[in-house]
Amino acid sequence: MFDLLSLLRSLMVAIAVMIGMICNVGAEQINVITSGAFSVAFKQLVPIFEQKTGHQVNMFFGASMGSAPDSIPTRLGRGEAFDVLILAGPALAIFIDQGVVLDGTRVDLANSTIGAVVRKGAPKPDISTVDALRNTLLQAKSIAYSASASGTYLSAEVFPKLGIADQLKDTARKIYSERVATVVARGDAELGFQQLSELFSIEGVDFIGELPPQVQQTIPFSAGIVKQTQKRQIAQELIGFFASEEAAPIIRKTGMHPLMQKMPW
């Protein structure tokens, strides 16, 4: 009887292993890196994709541009291997031109706009018009802005356009490898600017508004498939899911505007 029970147990274990192997047929791992603006939606969407497909997504994060050690250009430059990049559209276009990302695989997932925060409970300055924004920037004792796409736009275009770039040299600083709102929340900056999706996810700050339309920048965040990938089919499945109607409510909830484009393949 003992031997029979042992045999039955062994058979049950073997059957369970076989079922597990069958269920995981075709399941693979894929490496995906995203920049900050899409990262909140990304973290919520990945588990849904994994459950639907059985594939495993290894998640990585870095700025769209810049030379920070964890920025996407830096990580690619030192040979880190990814299958899909999700970052600001203009930055992705550079990688396509360089041959890093396959031409014809770009899909714009969502649009992002720039806003500002102050520490929770602090007075909320006015940035609703160009003149109000200029005055608020000049009066702020310390300003934090992103080292990625939105911050580059602010420092290279908005501040000069407002005629205050020189006046902000001592008060405005670029934030590397950290959310701008986190810096404001702990009191290291009075005023912080970044994409809305990156501001909304941080506690300890109050949102004061978006940049006025005359100086606002709408940035598409886009996905592309890395040329060297061996997982192109899975990459296409993943991007297709992120661009789907199913994913749209989550993207919208995180402060971005889903685009739901058709796939180019």
Looking at residue 219, the DSSP 8-state letter turns out to be E
Confirm whether 2 is domain-assigned: no
Confirm whether 246 is domain-assigned: yes
Give per-residue pLDDT as tens, 21-59.
Answer: 444 456 899 999 999 889 999 999 999 999 999 999 999
- Based on the domain organization, do 169 and 180 belong to the same domain? yes
Confirm whether 123 is domain-assigned: yes
Confirm whether 1 is domain-assigned: no
pLDDT band at 17 (very low <50, low <70, confident <90, very high): very low
Confirm whether 84 is domain-assigned: yes
- Based on the domain organization, do 62 and 104 belong to the same domain? yes
The per-residue pLDDT for 10 is 58
> What is residue 155's three-state secondary structure?
helix
Query: Which domain does 177 fall in, by range?
Result: 114-215
pLDDT band at 15 (very low <50, low <70, confident <90, very high): low
- Based on the domain organization, do 82 and 156 belong to the same domain? no
Query: Distance between CA 204 and CA 177 in Å, rounded?
Result: 19
Count the domains in the chain: 2
Q: Which residues contact 132 (CB under 8 A, 6 or more apart)?
A: 125, 126, 212
- Based on the domain organization, do 21 and 141 belong to the same domain? no
Q: How far is CA 30 from the centre of its chain?
A: 17
Confirm whether 254 is domain-assigned: yes
Confirm whether 265 is domain-assigned: no
- Based on the domain organization, do 235 and 105 belong to the same domain? yes
Give me the count of residues in the chain: 265
**Nearest alpha carbon to residue 126 among 181, 190, 208:** 208
DSSP 87-128: EEHHHHHHHHHTTSB-TT--EEEEEE-EEEEEETTS-----S
Give per-residue pLDDT as tens, 83-126.
Answer: 999 999 999 999 999 999 999 999 999 999 999 999 999 999 99
- The CATH number of whichever domain residue 235 belongs to comes to 3.40.190.10
- Based on the domain organization, do 145 and 211 belong to the same domain? yes
In terms of pTM, does the model score above 0.95? Answer: no
Is 207's pLDDT higher than 80? yes
- Based on the domain organization, do 154 and 194 belong to the same domain? yes
- Based on the domain organization, do 143 and 87 belong to the same domain? no
Is 13's pLDDT higher than 60? no
- Based on the domain organization, do 105 and 130 belong to the same domain? no
Mean pLDDT of the chain: 92
Give per-residue pLDDT as tens, 147-171.
Answer: 988 999 999 999 999 999 999 999 9
Q: Checking phi first, is residue 57 left (phi over 0); if not, alpha (psi -120 to 50) or beta?
A: beta
The per-residue pLDDT for 49 is 98
- Based on the domain organization, do 175 and 239 belong to the same domain? no
Confirm whether 263 is domain-assigned: no
* E strands, 196-261, in order: 205-210, 219-225, 257-258
- Based on the domain organization, do 26 and 103 belong to the same domain? yes
The per-residue pLDDT for 3 is 61
